[in-house]
């Protein structure tokens, strides 16, 4: 492997400054995390939480229902348990009946229960009226969030959000659970000695912060890179029965857990809880200390995740059929009153992947006493999806989210022209696509080695704004090609060059999908990423195929 190989890959990521390169290659918990008290209202929030614990006040933790909010709820749940505080409850709204954000009926019930402190996770920055009602009725509201705030902010006791106007926090791109981790870090930094919590204990909470950071499409740069990197280390030795039992069920070796395992195996099962059942099942799984309960919850989430897959496949079939019948615009808007809103983010993501453009997917759903068209949207990276929606305030009832993913609600009257209006606005708000395309480097088959893998591991974890390096391998000999898996829906090839043999795989693919007919003895060229598999505890370096061409 050339000595300048790592330099080439760093340059492609825009990392040219020596100090930034050092921070990227060697993220440090002690050196590269920012002081949590730099975040807006953070000191105010941690002091108020301390006062509540000393006065024995009733606290409600109100989190979003996805794999950002739920791990964030586990973080503060574990923090309060660690300091011996029990007078709190966790409330996660039902995605379908209550919708995103604070729910007024829930706030009314908190008032009746004499709650005096409400802490939100991954939501609240847009809930002006509900926060006002809570504050007027004796509940101090601490909002912790990371979404782009609207022009008018709620008059909460504290708004801990690195994106609020005037924020001096050095890294505004944390996820919701990342913000909650900073609150825990700030709280223990100020009061850890008071509660006799050993310095550094908060690092055990990084499994949840890392899980959310890898799940929530936030850039894996700066502070997020530290959280994701250390989060994976903690996940690999996490004592949580829910994590251990889920990985066992999925035949994943915990000590070799990767960001792909998180994104493609753990996250969908956590999110399935709110999409198909109750988000509390996922919270219970991640927070329980009981192995029996964990086993029951793992089996339950596995079942509803299979139901979710079947439902998404059914919707995708319909969506593809409809899109084939119409001319595509710069932005896709598609939906059906019968489509289950909870799974439409997955559908939007698949449409973006297939059609390489932003997608908005809607269904019909009742929430807060209203029946609206609600849905999810995803960007292909060519536009900030929230800015695009906010350019059309007359077309939406509510919008939220961040650069690459969002949610929205609209009306029957507005939906008919929504695709046309979004496509027109896209011309103003689109940006030059600076994403890396093609491949990063050519390599020889002999360079698929432990040495190369060690170099690549210095760039991991991979994800948003730090994609896996893509390699091209030219003119190698195909020895075999076969379909494998229970449904024979994955492709495996063996190639050879200069006496060296290597395996390549492509999940949910066939040779027809690459537009080729493969026969032993063919000369083939490959494009893909390198990965180390630990399937059945047998380490194996292989290529994850993106494209195959024949000579």
Tokens matching residue 442: 């050519």
The per-residue pLDDT for 432 is 55
pLDDT at residue 235 is higher than 60 = yes
The per-residue pLDDT for 7 is 86
pLDDT at residue 271 is higher than 60 = yes
The per-residue pLDDT for 148 is 86
Q: 439: number of CA atoms within 13 Å, CB side? A: 17
Q: How far is CA 223 from CA 31, 33, 114, 202, 231, in A?
A: 10, 6, 38, 16, 12
pLDDT at residue 8 is higher than 90 = no
Handedness of CA 169, 181, 389, 99 (dihedral sign): negative
The per-residue pLDDT for 438 is 59
Q: Give CA–CA dist 181/33, Å, rounded.
A: 11
Tokens matching residue 240: 């949580």
Least confident of 91-95, 139-143, 195-199, 515-519: 515-519
Q: 155: number of CA atoms within 13 Å, CB side? A: 6
Q: Give CA–CA dist 461/469, Å, rounded.
A: 12
Inter-axis angle of helices 206-215 and 69-82, nearest 10: 170
pLDDT band at 127 (very low <50, low <70, confident <90, very high): very high
The per-residue pLDDT for 514 is 87
Cβ neighbours of residue 294 under 8 Å, at least 6 residues apart?
241, 242, 244, 245, 285, 288
The per-residue pLDDT for 366 is 62
What distance separates the 2 farthest-apart alpha carbons in the chain? 76
Q: How far is CA 68 from CA 31, 64, 71, 240, 280, in A?
A: 25, 7, 6, 18, 13
Tokens matching residue 177: 């659970």
The per-residue pLDDT for 437 is 42
The per-residue pLDDT for 145 is 97
Cβ neighbours of residue 296 under 8 Å, at least 6 residues apart?
none
pLDDT at residue 227 is higher than 60 = yes
Domains contained in the chain, CATH given = 33-209 (3.90.1640.30), 326-429 (3.10.310.30), 441-550 (2.40.50.140)
The per-residue pLDDT for 513 is 81
Higher pLDDT among residues 498 and 82, named by residue: 82
pLDDT band at 51 (very low <50, low <70, confident <90, very high): very high
Length of the chain: 551
Q: Give CA–CA dist 441/522, Å, rounded.
A: 23
Mean pLDDT of the chain: 93
Q: For residue 34, what is the DSSP state?
A: P
The per-residue pLDDT for 433 is 45
Q: Report yes or no: 458 and 435 within 8 Å, Cβ to Cβ.
A: no
Looking up tokens 């953070």 gives: 42
Tell me which residue of 47, 62, 182 sits closest to 121, measured CA to CA.
62
The per-residue pLDDT for 440 is 82
Q: Give CA–CA dist 114/516, Å, rounded.
A: 67
Looking up tokens 């995740």 gives: 305
The per-residue pLDDT for 434 is 41
% of the chain exceeding 70 in pLDDT:
97
The per-residue pLDDT for 280 is 97
pLDDT at residue 162 is higher than 70 = yes
Task: Over range 145-161, report the average pLDDT.
Answer: 95
Task: Over range 361-380, report the average pLDDT.
Answer: 81
User: Which H or E run contains 492?
Assistant: strand 490-497
The per-residue pLDDT for 258 is 95
Long-range contacts formed by 433-437: CB under 8 A, 24+ apart: 433/381, 433/382, 435/381, 436/12, 436/467, 436/470
The per-residue pLDDT for 102 is 95
The per-residue pLDDT for 96 is 80
The per-residue pLDDT for 257 is 96
Tell me which residue of 267, 270, 335 sits closest to 301, measured CA to CA.
270
pLDDT at residue 93 is higher than 60 = yes
pLDDT band at 401 (very low <50, low <70, confident <90, very high): confident
Q: Give CA–CA dist 81/56, Å, rounded.
A: 14
Task: Over range 56-84, report the average pLDDT.
Answer: 97
pLDDT band at 159 (very low <50, low <70, confident <90, very high): very high
The per-residue pLDDT for 435 is 38
pLDDT tens-digit profile of 37-50? 999 999 999 999 99
| pTM flag (> 0.85) | yes
Q: Is beta strand 490-497 parallel, antiparallel or unpaired with respect to 500-506?
A: antiparallel
Q: Report yes or no: 139 and 117 within 8 Å, Cβ to Cβ.
A: yes
Q: Report yes or no: 247 and 285 within 8 Å, Cβ to Cβ.
A: no
The per-residue pLDDT for 370 is 57
pLDDT tens-digit profile of 431-465? 754 433 457 888 999 999 999 999 899 999 999 88
User: Which H or E run contains 142?
Assistant: strand 140-144
The per-residue pLDDT for 239 is 96
The per-residue pLDDT for 404 is 86
Whether the link from the prior residue into 516 is cis, omega within 30° of 0, is no
Task: Over range 140-162, report the average pLDDT.
Answer: 95
Cβ neighbours of residue 442 under 8 Å, at least 6 residues apart?
471, 472, 473, 474
């Amino acid at each position: 492997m050339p000595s300048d190989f790592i330099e080439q890959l760093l340059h492609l990521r825009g990392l040219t400054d020596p100090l930034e390169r050092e921070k990227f290659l060697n993220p440090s918990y002690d050196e590269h995390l920012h002081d949590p008290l730099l975040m807006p209202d953070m000191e105010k929030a941690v002091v108020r939480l301390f006062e509540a614990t000393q006065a024995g006040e009733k606290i409600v933790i109100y989190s979003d229902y996805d794999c950002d909010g739920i791990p964030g709820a586990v973080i503060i749940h574990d923090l309060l348990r660690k300091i011996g505080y029990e007078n709190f409850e966790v409330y996660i709204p039902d995605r379908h009946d209550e919708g995103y954000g604070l729910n007024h009926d829930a706030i009314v019930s908190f008032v009746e229960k004499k709650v005096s402190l409400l802490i939100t996770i991954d939501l609240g920055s847009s809930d002006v009226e509900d926060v006002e009602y809570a504050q007027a009725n004796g509940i101090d509201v601490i909002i912790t969030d990371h979404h782009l705030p609207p022009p008018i902010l709620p008059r909460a006791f504290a708004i801990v959000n690195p994106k609020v106007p005037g924020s001096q926090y050095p890294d505004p791109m944390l996820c919701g659970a990342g913000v909650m981790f900073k609150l825990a870090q700030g709280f223990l930094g100020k009061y850890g000695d008071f509660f006799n919590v050993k310095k550094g204990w908060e690092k055990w909470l990084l499994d949840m912060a890392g899980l959310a950071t890898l799940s929530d499409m936030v850039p894996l740069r700066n502070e997020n890179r530290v959280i994701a990197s250390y989060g994976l280390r903690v996940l690999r030795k996490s004592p949580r029965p829910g994590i251990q039992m889920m990985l066992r069920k999925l035949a994943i070796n915990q000590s070799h857990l990767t960001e792909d395992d998180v994104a493609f195996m753990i996250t969908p099962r956590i999110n399935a809880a709110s999409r198909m059942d109750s988000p509390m099942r996922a919270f219970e799984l991640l927070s329980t200390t009981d192995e029996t309960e964990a086993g029951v919850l793992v089996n339950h989430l596995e079942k509803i995740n299979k139901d979710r897959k079947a439902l998404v496949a059914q919707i995708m079939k319909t969506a593809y059929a409809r899109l084939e019948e119409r001319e595509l615009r710069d932005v896709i808007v598609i939906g059906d009153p019968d489509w289950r809103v909870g799974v439409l983010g997955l559908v939007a993501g698949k449409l973006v992947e297939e059609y390489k453009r932003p997608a908005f997917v809607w269904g019909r759903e009742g929430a807060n006493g209203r029946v609206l068209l609600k849905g999810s949207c995803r960007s292909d990276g060519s536009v900030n999806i929230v800015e695009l929606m906010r350019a059309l305030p007359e077309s939406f009832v509510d919008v939220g989210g961040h650069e690459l993913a969002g949610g929205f609600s609209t009306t029957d009257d507005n939906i008919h022209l929504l695709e046309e209006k979004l496509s027109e606005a896209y011309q103003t708000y689109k940006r030059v696509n600076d994403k890396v395309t093609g491949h990063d480097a050519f390599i020889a088959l002999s360079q698929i080695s432990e040495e190369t893998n060690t170099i690549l591991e210095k760039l991991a974890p991979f994800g948003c704004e730090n994609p896996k390096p893509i390699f091209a391998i030219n003119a190698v000999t195909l020895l075999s090609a076969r379909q494998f898996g229970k449904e024979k829906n994955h492709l495996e090839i063996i190639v050879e060059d200069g006496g060296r043999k290597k395996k390549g795989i492509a999940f949910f693919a066939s040779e027809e999908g690459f537009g080729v007919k493969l026969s032993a003895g063919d000369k083939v060229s490959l494009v893909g990423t390198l990965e180390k598999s630990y399937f059945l505890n047998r380490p194996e370096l292989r290529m994850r195929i993106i494209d195959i061409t024949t000579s």
